[in-house]
Amino acid sequence: MARSGKFWKTESTFAYLLLLPALIFLIVFMFYPIVYVFFMSFFKVNKLAELVSFSGLDNYRYMFSKPEFWQIIVRSCMWTALAVAAKTVIGLIIALLLNVDFRGRKIVRTLTIIPWASSVPISAMIWQWTYNNDFGLLNYTLQSLGIMSNPPIWLAYPRSAFFACLWVDIWCGIPFMALVFLAGLQAIPQELYEAAEVDGAGSLAKFRSVTLPLLSGVLTIATLLSILWTFNDFNVIYILTTGGPGTSTDILITYIYKYAFQYLRFGPAAAMAVITFIILLTVSIIYARNYFRRGEIL
């Protein structure tokens, strides 16, 4: 306590000084825009995104009274739940495979990463061509291998377009899951498996009583991250279908964008952005909590 208080004061002043440039940029291009969107959501806004007059909760009321909006909410939840579940299960299976000490493992690991390493917008364009009904190689391959005798025109109908987009999102997210789980698996001490073997545990019992419990930390944090990313996936849907046909493949994030920049209805778009912001904030706080509980940062 008696230690020169001044030194610490100058040290913290210095720290704030170093943080200042970064904080200014964050404030101008991120925090201020967020506040402004909150603001906007309570105003009538014209097509040039200028505030016209205070309108209270009108924008929210307008959105909530639209059945389409509720459909989009439900679809966003389905989209996130299905995609995250699929990524987690497939990622875990791939991680278990990569955890086997086989020849060529390093190369396989590298190849597995490519969908994550690739640029999402460009991947989406490649998938668009792959899904092409007449000349695309997906339907041709599915047919010639006898997996599907009559595959749909993927991007033309609401249901198939939704699953086509969903699959591309899953496909993009699998490598991250696989890598995180692999890192988690490799951190499990070998002795635990040996001890379980001594106790007469089979492979399934070992998986249930050793692997899964020890992986739970990684599982939680990866799932939370994946929820955030999946919910935020703008590129895949916008590029593959622009939310279409109609709004049948829109999720909140693409719907907001369309509302603002295609329909030029900035007020309702801002209201939806606020709702989305609150959802994201909640999940990311849960993520941050988990992150700090497991990590030894600070």
Partner 1 sequence: MKKKTFSYYLVYPAIIFVLLVLLFPFLVMISTALKPLEEVYTTPPHWIPQNLTLNNFSDVWFKYPLGTYFKNSLIVAVGTTVLNTILCIPAAYAVARLRFRAKSFIMYLFLIVQMFSPVIVVISLFKIIARLGLLNNLLSLIFTNGVFTLAFAIWLLSGYFSSVPKEIEEAALIDGCSRMQSVVRVLLPVAMPGVITTVIYTFITAWNEFMFALTFITSMDKRPLTLGLYNFVGRWTVQWQYLMAAAILALIPVVVLFMFIERDLVKGLAGGAVKG
Q: Which of residues 180-199 bind partner 1 (CB under 8 A)?
A: 180, 183-184, 186-188
Bridging pattern class, strands 43-45 and 51-54? antiparallel
Helices 158-186 and 67-98 pack at an angle, to 10 degrees, of 40
Pick from 137, 195, 205, 212 the residue near partner 1 by CB under 8 A: 137
Shortest Cβ 253–partner 1 spacing (Å): 5
Residues 276-295 that bind partner 1 (CB under 8 A): 276-277, 280-281, 283-285, 287-288, 290-292, 294-295
Q: 83: Cβ–Cβ under 8 A, 6 or more apart, which residues?
A: 166, 169, 170, 173, 226, 230
Number of residues that bind partner 1 (CB under 8 A): 109
**Binding flag, residue 209, partner 1 (CB under 8 A):** no
Helices 266-294 and 252-261 pack at an angle, to 10 degrees, of 150
Q: How many Cβ atoms from other residues are within 10 Å of residue 123's Cβ?
A: 21
**Binding flag, residue 91, partner 1 (CB under 8 A):** no
* Residue carrying the six token digits 């170093």: 18
- Binding segment (CB under 8 A) for partner 1, from list 61-69, 74-82, 158-166, 254-262: 254-262
Shortest Cβ 143–partner 1 spacing (Å): 8
Write the single-letter amino acid at 220.
T
**Binding flag, residue 201, partner 1 (CB under 8 A):** no
Q: What angle do CA 104, 107, 108 make, to 5 degrees?
A: 85
Site string for partner 1, 51-90 (x = CB under 8 A): ----------------------------------------
